[in-house]
């Protein structure tokens, strides 16, 4: 296993920032060569999906279950600059639960300029309305940015720091404005952003001349059903080391999702061996 993970474990300041604000920015999380390769994959998937579905070239594309679309995406699962932050936030009993690609082309020239973000929401599907509130932390996502989004008109993600602790969307000055405290998430190509799925966030509008390209990889506790695959193809698991197999949902038997043994969660053993038993309680 890659011991360089140990160079990127979360600091006390990072953990406090994530707990307080609900997100972390990791600049240069992937190399420019990796970004170039991922962008080629993103463009290919975009072209294939639009041809298959007939989606117009100027429409936003959101493609789920992308983790199996190219082997390079498996490398994002345990990216050395991000993965240690995940286990320091969520712990060792984790899995992939969602992977998706968003390609957001520029708005047509005739689109009326809009200052308000597109749709404020929390991620999570049915747990959002069905779980008792306040919600616990169940999962988080990592967005890998393949294009510069250094100003809001390039479709910058908008979020409200600290809103992962709020059940309701913060108030607005008027119905046509964004909620109080909203900010634009401005990032450079190659940046990763970790954010709590309870975070109130939205997509801004793309009035630039380039397509905004982002891969999302989501992680949850292993006792939740995934949104991607609950049974990963064996030929994919055969390509992976034990920790990646854990992340892809592999396990010894059905009881291991509630009371895992060391064989179910090799990440736990690895952390204990390299950081100490106190990190796996």
Span 106-143, pLDDT tens digits: 999 888 888 888 889 999 888 888 888 888 999 999 99
* Contacts for 145 with CB less than 8 Å, ≥ 6 apart: 187, 188, 189, 190, 191, 192, 193, 213, 214
Is residue 269 predicted with pLDDT exceeding 80? yes
Q: Compute CA 205 distance to the chain's CA centroid, rounded to the nearest angstrom.
A: 20
**C-alpha neighbours within 13 Å on the C-beta side of residue 183:** 12
pLDDT at position 1: 63
Assess contact for 227 and 98: CB atoms under 8 A.
Answer: yes
Answer whether residue 271 is part of any domain: no
**163: closest CA among 20, 24, 7, 272?**
20
Q: What is the mean pLDDT of residues 221-231?
A: 87
Rg of the chain (C-alpha set)? 19
In a domain, 253, yes or no: no
pLDDT at 76 over 90: yes
259 lies in some domain? no
- Rounded mean pLDDT, 233-247: 94
pLDDT in tens, 161-172: 999 999 888 888
Kindly report the CATH number assigned to the domain that includes residue 193.
2.60.120.620
Share above pLDDT 70 across residues of the chain, in percent, rounded to a whole number: 99
Residue 240 in any domain: the answer is no
The residue written with tokens 């998937």 in the block is 45
Q: How many CB atoms lie within 10 A of CB 158?
A: 21
Task: Establish if 242 belongs to a structural domain.
Answer: no
Flag whether 243 is in a domain: no
- Band (pLDDT 50/70/90 cuts) for residue 67 is very high
pLDDT in tens, 174-200: 877 889 899 999 999 999 999 999 999
| H helices present in the chain, as ranges | 12-21, 32-53, 74-77, 83-90, 127-130, 234-237, 242-247, 266-275
pLDDT digit string, tens, across residues 32-62: 999 999 999 999 999 999 999 999 999 999 9
Question: Residue 231 pairs with which residues in a beta bridge?
Answer: none
Q: Mean pLDDT of all residues in the chain?
A: 93
* Structural domain boundaries, residue 101: 3-232
pLDDT for the residue 196 = 97
Cα 241 to Cα 145, 201, 244, 245: the distances in Å are 26, 34, 5, 6
**In-domain check, residue 248:** no
pLDDT of 3 > 90? The answer is no
* pLDDT of 2 above 80: no
E strands, 88-151, are 94-104, 139-145
Report the chain's terminal Cα–Cα distance, integer Å. Answer: 21
Residue 211 lies in a domain: yes
Domain count, the chain: 1
């Amino acid at each position: 296993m890659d011991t360089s993970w140990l160079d990127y474990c979360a600091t006390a300041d990072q953990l406090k920032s994530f707990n307080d604000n609900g997100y972390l920015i990791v600049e240069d999380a992937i190399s420019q060569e990796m970004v170039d390769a991922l962008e080629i994959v993103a463009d290919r998937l975009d072209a294939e999906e639009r041809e298959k579905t007939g989606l117009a070239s100027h429409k936003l594309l959101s493609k789920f279950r992308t983790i199996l679309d190219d082997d390079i995406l498996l490398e994002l699962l345990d990216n050395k600059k991000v993965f240690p932050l995940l286990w320091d936030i969520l712990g060792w009993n984790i899995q992939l639960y969602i992977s998706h690609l968003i390609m957001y082309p520029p708005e047509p020239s005739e689109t009326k300029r809009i200052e308000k973000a597109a749709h404020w929401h929390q991620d999570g599907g049915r747990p959002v309305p069905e779980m008792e509130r306040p919600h616990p932390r169940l999962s988080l996502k990592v967005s890998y940015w393949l294009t510069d989004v250094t100003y809001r008109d390039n479709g910058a993600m908008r979020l409200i720091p600290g809103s992962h602790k709020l059940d309701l969307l913060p108030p607005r000055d008027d119905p046509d404005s964004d909620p109080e405290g909203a900010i634009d998430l401005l990032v450079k190509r190659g940046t990763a952003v970790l954010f709590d799925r309870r975070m109130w966030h939205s997509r801004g509008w793309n009035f630039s001349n380039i397509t905004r390209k982002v891969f999302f990889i989501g992680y949850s506790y292993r006792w939740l059903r995934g949104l991607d695959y609950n049974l990963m193809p064996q030929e994919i698991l055969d390509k992976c080391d034990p920790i990646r197999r854990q992340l892809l949902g592999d396990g010894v038997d059905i009881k291991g999702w509630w009371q895992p043994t060391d064989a179910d969660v090799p990440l736990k053993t690895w952390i204990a061996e390299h950081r100490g038993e106190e990190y796996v309680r």
